[in-house]
Structure 1
Amino acid sequence: MDWFTAPDYWLSRLVFQRALAGLYLVAFLTAALQFRALIGERGMLPVPRYTARVPFRHSPSLFQLHYSDRFFAACAWAGCAVSAALLAGVDSLLPLWGGMLLWLVPWALYLSIVNVGQTWYAFGWESLLLEVGFLAVLLGNDEVAPPVVVLFLLRWILFRVEFGAGLIKLRGDACWRKLTCLDYHHETQPMPGPLSWFFHRLPRPLHRAEVAANHFTQLVVPVLLFTPQPVATAAASLMIVTQLWLVLSGNFAWLNWITIVLALSVVGFPYSAPSVPDAPLWYEIVVLAVATLLVALSRHPVRNMISRRQVMNRSFDPLHLVNTYGAFGSISRIRYEVVVEGTDDTVPREDSHWREYEFKGKPGDPRHWPRQFAPYHLRLDWLMWFAALSPAYAGSWFGALVERLLENDRDTLKLLRRSPFPPDAPPRYVRARLFRYRYTTWRELRETGACWERTYVREYLPPTRLEGMVQRS
């Protein structure tokens, strides 16, 4: 069937697949390096405790069948290896069915991780990676030209990512309608980057223009994805430029990068595709059958987008095949940070020698300039931002974090930039205090060298010792 494939998108598929494999590699590397402290057997939210209460049908995962830290590590590193192989183009050396199976492996492994990751994996870009990764299985390799229906479904995902985010902003915080949200966002976003201070200090009229441009890119441009070339390429290119601007302004894990990868699948690169035979019948049947299923499942995000009670970042099935997305429906005006401190004094007092734990990404020491981590995802740092918004966001894991700091747990300390205590001398007490943070002015930056100024607000957690905490089950 001539209509089934689009040979002109041969290079678009190649670029998309290699870039997606790179993001898979980052995701698996993040899991391999952080899981023990977060969801391991002795983690803050252990997988065995989760799988004991959640049935397989609600959260399908290999780790429902068996869990050990060694097995999880093997799966995560296997995901890294397969992703690296796909990045190198090994799928092109295999027969069509072999390439599809190879793309299925990282999807199944990462689905297994996300479905037991609990709050540490409750981010929209996890589902987005899985939804996009599932479609990558159907894109084929060098034996066939890219299927038109799969390319359409990739555009459909990109449309939902951008248009859903635009709608949630218009329906959410009034500052998006007043074009004033960027007066606050760069200062209060979850994890600022090295340029965020400068973005915040841009003139306010430019902030208004940024918000207006954002509305245009998210509410008008997505419709153009379904128009003929070169208009579709122009629309995708504008989205890529916008996402790169967001990459420069903060650390949003791989959210911006996977949006860029999706946009690359739309771009019509000038390239003469090699001559290939027609797609085999079995391949056409599989692609069309799965596409029909995905279109049927799309009714859930469509209903959500047109609903006045639109929600963002929600999965509608346990396989994360079709999801809804969105970000920053509301904007914080004030930045709060939880500062965790320890002391080795026998009796904790306000004038005790309290020493501060430093995190890798979240603001702490006012003189420590933020670094660029994205697309790598610092999960603990992100959850600390939510903890500062409300203790309710941290109820399931913050106590466990404090307990592990009191033990000088090696895996937990690896998640931090610096612990103020030597490995063989843990603190006697740990406390947490809430501070208000704001960016310094140009003058303050020149005089003090600090990018932040912070003010004590209140006690977040009183001095706590190990004997007084609930023991782990």
Structure 2
Amino acid sequence: MEWFTASDYWLGRLVFQRALAGLYLVAFLTAALQFRALIGERGMLPVPRFVERVPFRSSPSLFQLHYSDRFFAGCVWAGCAVSAALLAGLDSLLPLWGGMLLWLVPWVLYLSVVNVGQTWYSFGWESLLLEVGFLAVFLGNDEVAPPVVVLFLLRWVLFRVEFGAGLIKMRGDACWRKLTCLDHHHETQPMPGPLSWFFHHLPKPLHRVEVAANHVTQLVVPFLLFAPQPVASAAAALMIVTQLWLVLSGNFAWLNWITIVLALPVIAFPADPPAVSGAPLWYVVVVLAVSAALLGLSHRPVRNMVSRRQVMNRSFDPLHLVNTYGAFGSVSRIRYEVVVEGTADEVPRQDSDWREYEFKGKPGDPRRWPRQFAPYHLRLDWLMWFAALSPAYAGPWFGALVERLLENDRDTLKLLRRSPFPAHAPPRHIRARLFRYRYTTWRELRETGACWERTYVREFLPPTRLTGAAHRP
């Protein structure tokens, strides 16, 4: 069955599988270190409360069957272990069916996490990791050459990621068509990185070139993924370079990295393929059946892409098998940040000793330079960016965050860079204020050492304390 496999892509498959396993490891590690405060039994959006009102068929998950913090921790740490084993190449040491089952384990575990993760797991890269992870199950191991149809489906995902993102930009904010979006984007993006300040201060003509190059990469180059070699390899390489540029300019969790990983099996690396046996019949039947089903499901993201009402980052089935993607259909012109403060005073006043909580990734102290966290995902910091855009985004969870801070909840404080209050003396009151942030100029940076300048806008949350049964004596 030589028509079924493409031995020239064996090295691309190998690199893709190891890199994908690394991203799985990051995703499970992120879940393991953050879940208790976010979705745990005492989290801001507890899983037990979610599964009480959402049926299994709408959100299939192991945690629909049973949930406890200990069980969740066991699952995500098991996901870390399996991902590490795949990263080390354990699937290559197993028979074909064993390798497929091993790749299925992290997909089932991470699907279970995402489907109960609620707003904390509502990002497009969650569905993208699941869609790509499901395809990896059928990509085979060292016993067979990579199946052509699975390689095609991986290119089809990459096409939808890039082309969908390009379309949403052209249909969305006019600044993309005017080539001016990067005048604002590096300053207003969800979580700036250590180089974002410098990207923002690049000459405006270079920003225009960046946007134009982005349009070419997202609206033209994706079609070349289906061209003969070496054109397809060149298209994939161009996408990798573009994504690395984005990695340098900000913190977007593993969005850029998984796009890079998707481009790897497109490249025909110059290496002699190893001798492999022919694909067994059962494997051919399974791969073709699954591929046919996925192609059938693809009509929904295609309809979305051609629609004038295109939406970003939508999953069309509870298993996240085929999804639609996109990013930054609109770009904010002004950056707002919610600054959370506490005081130990019994009666809060404007002149009370208000102390600011420091987050790990989101801007706070104007003198603190942003750090690089991606591909690690700081979920609370990202949602704080949305909260600054509109209080409606914070409605389901912000009150619970304030309550946990008033209790000096250990798990919640682990999500922060620093709490201004000792463990034995939590604050009496918490308040939140909205500030406008802007990057300083070169001159301001030299004079003050601050990369941000901030201006008070309005009250976001008035001074709040614990009441009723939870009130401290």
TM-score norm. by structure 2 comes to 0.99
* Distance in 2 between residues matched to 1:470 and 1:185, nearest whole Å: 42
Report the alpha carbon displacement of residue 470 of structure 1 after superposing the two structures with TM.
9.2
Report the alpha carbon displacement of residue 248 of structure 1 after superposing the two structures with TM.
0.1
Provide the residue aligned with 1:329 in structure 2. Answer: 329
* Distance in 2 between residues matched to 1:390 and 1:49, nearest whole Å: 25
1:369-380 aligned at under 5 Å gives the runs: 369-380=369-380
Provide the residue aligned with 2:191 in structure 1. Answer: 191
* Distance in 1 between residues matched to 2:399 and 2:468, nearest whole Å: 11
Residues 357-396 of structure 1 deviation map (CA, whole Å, 9 limit, x = unaligned): 0000000000000000000000000000000000000000
1:45 touches 1:397 (CA, 8 Å); kept in 2? yes
Give the aligned CA root-mean-square deviation in angstroms: 0.9
Q: Which runs of 5+ in 2 are unaligned?
A: none
SS at match of 2:338: strand
* Distance in 1 between residues matched to 2:274 and 2:82, nearest whole Å: 26
SS at match of 1:432: strand
Provide the residue aligned with 1:309 in structure 2. Answer: 309
Provide the residue aligned with 1:467 in structure 2. Answer: 467
Residues 190-249 of structure 1 deviation map (CA, whole Å, 9 limit, x = unaligned): 000000000000000000000000000000000000000000000000000000000000
SS at match of 2:420: coil
1:224 touches 1:232 (CA, 8 Å); kept in 2? yes
* Distance in 2 between residues matched to 1:134 and 1:250, nearest whole Å: 28
Provide the residue aligned with 1:17 in structure 2. Answer: 17
SS at match of 1:186: helix
Does residue 320 (structure 1) correspond to residue 289 (structure 2)? The answer is no
Provide the residue aligned with 2:367 in structure 1. Answer: 367
Residues 252-278 of structure 1 deviation map (CA, whole Å, 9 limit, x = unaligned): 000000000000110110010111111
* Distance in 2 between residues matched to 1:468 and 1:327, nearest whole Å: 43
1:10 touches 1:145 (CA, 8 Å); kept in 2? yes
Provide the residue aligned with 2:252 in structure 1. Answer: 252
* Distance in 2 between residues matched to 1:432 and 1:3, nearest whole Å: 62
* Distance in 2 between residues matched to 1:450 and 1:461, nearest whole Å: 26
1:120 touches 1:383 (CA, 8 Å); kept in 2? yes
Provide the residue aligned with 1:391 in structure 2. Answer: 391
How many residue pairs align between the two structures? Answer: 471
1:186 touches 1:197 (CA, 8 Å); kept in 2? yes
Provide the residue aligned with 1:82 in structure 2. Answer: 82
Provide the residue aligned with 1:202 in structure 2. Answer: 202
**In the alignment, residue 258 of structure 1 is paired with which amino acid?**
I
**Same amino acid, percent of matched pairs:** 87
* Distance in 2 between residues matched to 1:389 and 1:75, nearest whole Å: 34
1:210-221 aligned at under 5 Å gives the runs: 210-221=210-221
Residues 117-148 of structure 1 deviation map (CA, whole Å, 9 limit, x = unaligned): 00000000000000000000000000000000
* Distance in 2 between residues matched to 1:206 and 1:3, nearest whole Å: 46
1:117-136 aligned at under 5 Å gives the runs: 117-136=117-136
**In the alignment, residue 229 of structure 2 is paired with which amino acid?**
Q
Provide the residue aligned with 1:348 in structure 2. Answer: 348
Runs of 4+ that moved beyond 6 A: 468-471
* Distance in 2 between residues matched to 1:267 and 1:450, nearest whole Å: 44
SS at match of 2:241: helix
Provide the residue aligned with 1:444 in structure 2. Answer: 444
* Distance in 1 between residues matched to 2:327 and 2:2, nearest whole Å: 39
Does residue 424 (structure 1) correspond to residue 424 (structure 2)? The answer is yes
1:86-235 aligned at under 5 Å gives the runs: 86-235=86-235
* Distance in 2 between residues matched to 1:308 and 1:174, nearest whole Å: 15
Report the alpha carbon displacement of residue 468 of structure 1 after superposing the two structures with TM.
6.6
**In the alignment, residue 138 of structure 1 is paired with which amino acid?**
F
SS at match of 2:27: helix
SS at match of 2:318: coil
**In the alignment, residue 309 of structure 2 is paired with which amino acid?**
R
* Distance in 1 between residues matched to 2:469 and 2:320, nearest whole Å: 37
* Distance in 2 between residues matched to 1:32 and 1:322, nearest whole Å: 26
SS at match of 1:466: coil
Provide the residue aligned with 1:26 in structure 2. Answer: 26
Residues 323-363 of structure 1 deviation map (CA, whole Å, 9 limit, x = unaligned): 00000000000000000000000100000000000000000
**In the alignment, residue 197 of structure 1 is paired with which amino acid?**
W
Change (3 A) 1:187 1:470: farther
**In the alignment, residue 306 of structure 2 is paired with which amino acid?**
I
SS at match of 1:362: coil
* Distance in 1 between residues matched to 2:319 and 2:287, nearest whole Å: 18
Provide the residue aligned with 1:243 in structure 2. Answer: 243
Provide the residue aligned with 2:284 in structure 1. Answer: 284
Residues 414-452 of structure 1 deviation map (CA, whole Å, 9 limit, x = unaligned): 000000000000000000000000000000000000000
Residues 141-169 of structure 1 deviation map (CA, whole Å, 9 limit, x = unaligned): 00000000000000000000000000000
1:254 touches 1:375 (CA, 8 Å); kept in 2? yes
* Distance in 2 between residues matched to 1:30 and 1:250, nearest whole Å: 18
* Distance in 2 between residues matched to 1:5 and 1:461, nearest whole Å: 60
* Distance in 1 between residues matched to 2:184 and 2:113, nearest whole Å: 34
Change (3 A) 1:122 1:470: farther
SS at match of 1:140: coil
Residues 276-295 of structure 1 deviation map (CA, whole Å, 9 limit, x = unaligned): 11100000000000000000
**In the alignment, residue 423 of structure 2 is paired with which amino acid?**
P
Change (3 A) 1:414 1:205: same
**In the alignment, residue 185 of structure 1 is paired with which amino acid?**
H
* Distance in 2 between residues matched to 1:275 and 1:195, nearest whole Å: 46
1:403 touches 1:469 (CA, 8 Å); kept in 2? no
* Distance in 2 between residues matched to 1:367 and 1:417, nearest whole Å: 15
Q: Which runs of 5+ in 1 are unaligned?
A: none
Change (3 A) 1:405 1:190: same
* Distance in 2 between residues matched to 1:417 and 1:466, nearest whole Å: 23
SS at match of 1:191: coil
* Distance in 2 between residues matched to 1:237 and 1:7, nearest whole Å: 20
TM-score norm. by structure 1 comes to 0.99
* Distance in 2 between residues matched to 1:277 and 1:141, nearest whole Å: 11
* Distance in 1 between residues matched to 2:44 and 2:378, nearest whole Å: 15
SS at match of 2:266: coil
* Distance in 2 between residues matched to 1:3 and 1:370, nearest whole Å: 51
1:440 touches 1:452 (CA, 8 Å); kept in 2? yes
**In the alignment, residue 223 of structure 1 is paired with which amino acid?**
F
